[in-house]
Amino acid sequence: MTRLMLGRTLERICKAVLLLCLVHFLIMMILYFDVYTQRFDIFSRLHNGRNATRGGAGGHHYYYNLSRPNATFSSYLATADQLLPTRRSQSNHTPTTKPVPPCPEIPPGLVGRLLIEFGSQMTMERVQRENPNVTEGGRYTPPDCHPKWKVAIIIPFRHRDNHLKYWLHYLHPILRRQKIHYGIYIINQLGEDTFNRAKLLNVGYTEALRDGEYDCFIFSDVDLVPMDDRNLYHCYDQPRHFAIAMDKFGFRLPYAGYFGGVSGLSRKQFLKINGFPNEYWGWGGEDDDIYNRITLNGMKVARPDVRIGRYRMIKHERDKHNEPNPQRFNKIQNTKNTMRRDGISSLSYHLVQVKKYPLYTNISVEIGKPPPRPFRG
């Protein structure tokens, strides 16, 4: 009796398994014929599309993309897809880019008061590692917003390599936090003749415009570092004096007409004053002449709050061949008479070399030498 029941159970199991196999076979056959029909339909469409374009003015074989340089199988599929009667609009294949918003007037990532020190050793390799987003020539553009100004930062230079390392170390991060579109230009006076700061700044303005479409120019000494990143390095409605509170002067403005250290003018403001004077050889006087040019042309000097416009100066000895200019006081008194003939309109120099480094662009020039002083008997 037990053997009989066991046999019937096995018989039912075998029938169920056979039934399942039959159902599975039927399902596989249905799927196979469905896929085969779709493939046949696609190839027939491709064949019809190829025949329709063969001999036409714009006809191309659908294997054409595979013979192009850098062609991929996806490009082949795209070509085949274009031959189908139900063509998709080309705009569907074009990725939409989100418009970049304007940069905020006050960038949210600013730190405020900074600790500036010049005691630790600085190398260009370290500064380069710290600023991987700065491109060749010392250029940077914020990736997430569109700045109002394109800023060229111009530094008159000679024999200050150690100062330049510190300046780049501090300024690149500050400028990036300020969301500034900028390029840095070191204007290197070749030779050992008398230094001429203002003429080098005129050269920087001219050469920067050859390199980019700048509309704002910041003129900075290489030994001055801002102590607050809220002192924004861009242009304003009026010419801007940034370095109004240096540690050298006890963090005070030395006198009302002081315009030295770090200043900024838009391209329009710069041309309105005919740029800077070219005839101030040696130390002193050129920044006062520039201040006079600004006021004589109906503009005012704008300044940041004294708590924000603080700067540290790298201590150093006075440069050789940059002795005080004994003619500076007489020249300052004659700005009104000289500013139309002496400036960017009368600039002459010899460009020797332009070399782009990872953190800045170096422009080496020969600017001549001062005229002989009149003999006094």
**What is the torsional sign of CA 111, 131, 218, 269?**
negative
Three-class SS of 91-155? HHHCCCCCCCCECCCCCCCCCCECCCCCCCCCCHHHHHHHCCCCECCCEECCCCCECCCEEEEEE
316 is catalytic: yes
Q: Are strands 310-313 and 224-226 parallel, antiparallel or unpaired?
A: antiparallel
Beta bridge partners of 157: 188
d(CA 114, CA 107): 16
318 is catalytic: yes
105 is catalytic: no
313 is catalytic: yes
For 79-96, b/e burial (b = at least 16 CB within 10 A) is: bbeebeeeeeeeeeeeee
Q: How many CA atoms lie within 13 A of 332 on its CB side?
A: 16
Q: Which parts of the chain are beta strand (E)?
A: 139-140, 150-157, 181-189, 216-220, 224-226, 240-241, 245-246, 262-266, 310-313, 350-356, 361-366
221 is catalytic: yes
Q: Which parts of 324-373 are beta strand (E)?
A: 350-356, 361-366
Distance of CA 121 to the CA centre of its chain: 27
d(CA 50, CA 80): 9
The catalytically annotated residue of 283, 299, 307, 323 is 283
Torsion of CA 195, 199, 203, 208, to 10 degrees: 100
Q: 240 in helix, strand or coil?
A: strand
223 is catalytic: yes
Q: For the CA atoms of the chain, what is the radius of gyration? A: 36
167 is catalytic: no
Q: Which parts of 297-358 are beta strand (E)?
A: 310-313, 350-356
* Angle, CA 24 vertex, CA 23 and CA 26 arms, to 5°: 65
The catalytically annotated residue of 60, 177, 215, 313 is 313
d(CA 213, CA 210): 8
The catalytically annotated residue of 3, 318, 341, 376 is 318
Point out the residues that are catalytic.
221, 223, 283, 286-287, 313, 316, 318
